[in-house]
Amino acid sequence: MERMRKRMSEEQKKEAQTPEDEVKKEAGSAEATETPEEDNAPEAEKTEEKSEEKTEEKADDGNEKYVRLMAEFQNYKKRVAKEKNDIREYATEKLVMELLPVLDNFERALAASAEDDPAGYAKGMELIFTQMVTELQKSGLAEVEAEGQDFDPTKHNAVMTEENEELESGKVSKVLQKGYALNDKVIRPSMVAVTK
């Protein structure tokens, strides 16, 4: 019995040692796995440093591209502003060039005496007026039709009302000042009288 007890106690010791041994084995294997990690730590740090450098390079490239793009955009804005300014300054150049012959004719007419030939003087003024209207029409100027038309507040400016038996109510009965449109845009509405 004592032998059995000794055997059992020895078996119990073995069983008790087995978990300890396992713990020691696990600790040993953990130490073994930690050692390679410690060896790999400098390589991991190098990889991280390289990726950080690449990220910084990409950020620097992005910043450079952004600065370049902003500079190009500023140059574009300046160029467009200059072009707009040039267009404003020289937009009327063509019209003025076309009206210079009309101006020359006015100077000639004023130099001539109206007393010598009143009929010829009047005819000359009519020709100059026609020449001027023709040049303005080439540039897109058109008279706004008003008399006898329905009153349109976008084209006409009613300054008075009057009774007219020949026209219906709301029609333009008289034009006090002509209106003009430039390329279909009313630049001066007609001043009109409207029937009641």
Domain locations in the chain as residue ranges = 142-196
> pLDDT tens for residues 1-58?
555 556 655 665 555 555 555 545 555 544 444 444 445 556 666 677 777 777 777 7
Higher pLDDT residue, 64 or 15?
Answer: 64
Number of Cβ within 10 Å of residue 109's Cβ equals 15
Give the mean pLDDT of 123-140: 91
Cα–Cα distance for residue pair 183/95, rounded to 1 Å: 14
Q: How far is CA 110 from the centre of its chain?
A: 51
Question: What kind of fold does domain 142-196 have according to CATH?
Answer: Nucleotide Exchange Factor Grpe; Chain A, domain 2 (2.30.22)
Cα–Cα distance for residue pair 111/87, rounded to 1 Å: 36
Higher pLDDT residue, 194 or 196?
Answer: 194
CA-derived radius of gyration, the chain: 50
Closest CA to 187 of 128, 152, 125, 143: 143
Helix axis angle for 93-111 and 118-138, nearest 10°, is: 180
Q: Which helix (H) or strand (E) holds 23?
A: helix 2-90
Show the tokens assigned to 180.
């003009």
Is the pTM value of this prediction over 0.85?
no
Cα–Cα distance for residue pair 176/184, rounded to 1 Å: 21
What are the counts of helices (DSSP H) followed by strands (DSSP E) for the chain? Answer: 3, 6
What percentage of the chain has pLDDT greater than the value 90? Answer: 33
> pLDDT tens for residues 89-127?
887 888 888 889 999 988 888 887 777 788 888 888 999
